[in-house]
Amino acid sequence: MKIFLDTADVPTILKHFETGLIDGITTNPSLIKKSGRDPLDVYRELMIAGVPDISMEVVEDMEFEARRLAAEFGEVCTIKVPCTPEGLKVCKQLSDDGVRVNVTLIFNAAQAILSAKAGATYVSPFIGRLDDNSVAGLEVVRSISEVYRVQNVKTQILAASIRDVYKVSRAYWNGAHIVTMPPKIFEGMYKHILTDKGLEIFDKDYQDSKKSVFNPPPFATTKHGKDLDSF
C-alpha cells in the first residue's frame, strides 16, 4: 500500500518526503505548468532528494523522450504515457526493456486490460474525473482490480485524480495498490476532529498531573508529537 504525491511543487514534496511515508511522485504537464519550472529541473531535484519513483509524462516524440528520461534518471524514472495506440506501443517497447511505465488517463477496465497487455507497471484510473462525469470512479478501480485478480495480472493500480480523503481509503479498499494525491489530501489524512479534541484533553491532563503529581525529567517539556526529538 503505497502513497504518492501528485504534484510538481518541490518544496512541498520535500517537506512531506521527510515524513518517510511518501513512496513516489506523479507529475503531468498541467502540474509542471502550474509549478512554472522546467520539468527536468523538478525531476533532478527530486532524484537528488532520494525520491525513489517519479512519474514523468511524455507528450511529443514519446519513445525518444522516454528513452532520454530513462537514460538520465534510471531507477527512479517511471515513464507516463496516455492510453492511446501510440502510448501503449511505447509502453510495450519500454516495458520490454525493463523501464517502468505508468499508463495514464484510464477510465475503464478495457483500457486497463490493454495497458496490462502492453506490460505497464502501473495503470492510473482517474477517480475524480470519472465522478465529475457521473461514473463512480471507485467502481472502475474495483472492476480493474477484479479483472487483474482473476487473470493474475501483475500491473499495479495507481488510483489518481483524488479529491478528498475518503476516496483514498476507499481506493485502497477497492484494490488500488497505490494512491497518488495532492499534498492537501495527504495532510488531511492525519486529521480527525476527535484526535484534536482528545489531544487537547490529554495535554491539559498531562499538564495538571505534571504540576501536582510528578516532576518530569527536564527534556520532557513539549506536547504530544510537537517535538519528537525531545522524547
SS3 category, 77 = strand
Q: Does 53 bind ligand E4P (CB under 6 A)?
A: no
Cell of 161: 485524480
The least distance separating ligand E4P from the CB of residue 58, rounded to whole angstroms, comes to 13
Active-site option among 80, 92, 167, 211: 80
Rule CB under 6 A: choose which of 28, 78, 95, 156 binds ligand E4P.
28
CB 93 within 8 A of CB 66: no
What is the pairing mode between strands 156-159 and 122-125?
parallel
Q: What is the CA radius of gyration of the chain?
A: 21
Residue 225 falls in which region: left (phi positive, over 0), alpha (psi -120 to 50) or beta: left
- What DSSP letter does each residue of 10-51 carry, written as one string? HHHHHHHHTTT---EEE--HHHHHHHTS-HHHHHHHHHHHT-
Q: Does 124 bind ligand E4P (CB under 6 A)?
A: yes
Rule CB under 6 A: choose which of 84, 129, 187, 206 binds ligand E4P.
129
Using CA atoms, how far apart are residues 151 and 116, in angstroms rounded to an integer?
11
The separation between CA 1 and the C-alpha centre of its own chain, rounded to angstroms, equals 10
Locus of grid cell 512554472? 36
User: Which span (14-22, 120-128, 135-143, 149-157) binds ligand E4P, by CB under 6 A?
Assistant: 120-128
The binding track of 132-161 with respect to ligand E4P, each residue x by CB under 6 A or -, is: ----------------------------xx
User: Which span (89-97, 109-117, 122-130, 217-225) binds ligand E4P, by CB under 6 A?
Assistant: 122-130
Rule CB under 6 A: choose which of 128, 143, 187, 189 binds ligand E4P.
128
The binding track of 179-198 with respect to ligand E4P, each residue x by CB under 6 A or -, is: -x------------------
Nearer to ligand E4P, 104 or 145 (CB): 104
Rule CB under 6 A: choose which of 43, 126, 172, 186 binds ligand E4P.
126
Using CA atoms, how far apart are residues 99 and 76, in angstroms rounded to an integer?
10
Using CA atoms, how far apart are residues 185 and 77, in angstroms rounded to an integer?
24
Using CA atoms, how far apart are residues 79 and 57, in angstroms rounded to an integer?
6
Cell of 224: 504530544
Nearer to ligand E4P, 119 or 125 (CB): 125
Q: Any catalytic annotation for residue 167?
A: no
Interface with ligand E4P in residues 73-92 (CB under 6 A): none
The least distance separating ligand E4P from the CB of residue 112, rounded to whole angstroms, comes to 14
Give me the active site residues, please.
80
The residues that touch ligand E4P, with contacts defined as CB under 6 A, are 6, 26, 28, 104, 124, 126, 128-129, 160-161, 180
